[in-house]
Amino acid sequence: MAEYQLYCFGESGNAYKAALTLELSGCDWDPIFVDYFNGEARSEAFHQINEMGEVPVMVHGDTTLSQSGVIQDYLIEQTGKFGGTSPKERREIWRWVLFDNHKLSSQAGVTRFLMNFIPEDKRPTEAIAFLQARLQSAYKTLNNHLTGREWMVGDALSVADISCCGYLYYPEEFGFNRADWPEIDAWLDRIAATPGWKHPYDLMKPAYPPQKS
Amino acid sequence: MAEYQLYCFGESGNAYKAALTLELSGCDWDPIFVDYFNGEARSEAFHQINEMGEVPVMVHGDTTLSQSGVIQDYLIEQTGKFGGTSPKERREIWRWVLFDNHKLSSQAGVTRFLMNFIPEDKRPTEAIAFLQARLQSAYKTLNNHLTGREWMVGDALSVADISCCGYLYYPEEFGFNRADWPEIDAWLDRIAATPGWKHPYDLMKPAYPPQKS
CB contact under 8 A, B102 and A106: yes
The domains found in chain A, sorted by start residue, are: 4-81+198-203 (3.40.30.10), 87-192 (1.20.1050.10)
pLDDT number for residue A213: 62
Mean pLDDT of chain B: 97
Length of chain A counted residue by residue:
213
At A212 the pLDDT is 79
The stretch B149-154 carries a mean pLDDT of: 98
Q: How far is A207 from chain B (nearest CA, A)?
A: 22
All residues of chain B having their beta carbon less than 8 Å from the beta carbon of residue A110 are: 134
One-letter identity of residue A66: S
* pLDDT, averaged across chain A: 97
Q: Which pLDDT band, with edges at 50, 70 and 90, does A24 fall under?
A: very high
Task: Write down the pLDDT at residue A135.
Answer: 98
Residue to substitute from B54, B55, B101, B152, interface A, most A β-carbons within 10 A: B101
Whether A102 has its CB under 8 Å from any CB of chain B: the answer is yes
A143-152 pLDDT tens trace = 999 999 999 9
Across the interface, whether the CB atoms of B73 and A91 are under 8 A apart is answered yes
Model confidence band, residue B61 (pLDDT cutoffs 50, 70, 90): very high
Determine contact, residues A9/A39, Cβ cutoff 8 Å. no
B123 contacts chain A (CB < 8 A): no
CA–CA distance from A176 to each of A15, A124, A133, A142, A170 (Å)?
20, 18, 11, 13, 10
Residue B191 has pLDDT above 80, yes or no: yes
Interchain contact, B99 vs A67, CB within 8 Å: yes
Q: How far A74 CA lies from chain B's nearest CA (Å)?
A: 8
> ipTM, 2 decimals?
0.97
By CB neighbour count within 10 A (0-12 exposed, 13-18 middle, 19+ buried), where does A24 fall? Answer: buried
pLDDT tens across A106-152, in order? Answer: 999 999 999 999 999 999 999 999 999 999 999 999 999 999 999 99
Mean pLDDT of A69-87: 98
Q: Is A197 exposed, middle or buried (0-12, 13-18, 19+ CB in 10 A)?
A: middle
The whole-angstrom distance between B119's CA and the closest CA on chain A is: 16
Mean pLDDT for the stretch of residues A4-31: 98
Within 8 A of B105 by CB-CB distance, chain A residues are: 102
Give residue B212's pLDDT: 79
The length of chain B in residues reads 213
Is the Cβ pair B126, A131 closer than 8 Å?
A: no
Does B213 have pLDDT greater than 80? Answer: no
CA distances to A173, B39, B111, B199, B211 from B35, in Å: 37, 7, 20, 20, 9
Sign (positive or negative) of CA dihedral B70, B76, B77, B79: positive
Q: How far is CA B163 from CA A23, A160, B20, B59, B117, in A?
A: 31, 21, 9, 19, 22
pLDDT of residue A197: 98
Residues on chain B touching A103 (C-beta within 8 angstroms): 52, 106
What is the mean pLDDT of the segment spanning B54-72?
98
For residue B103, give the chain A residue with the closest CA.
A106
pLDDT at A207 over 80: yes
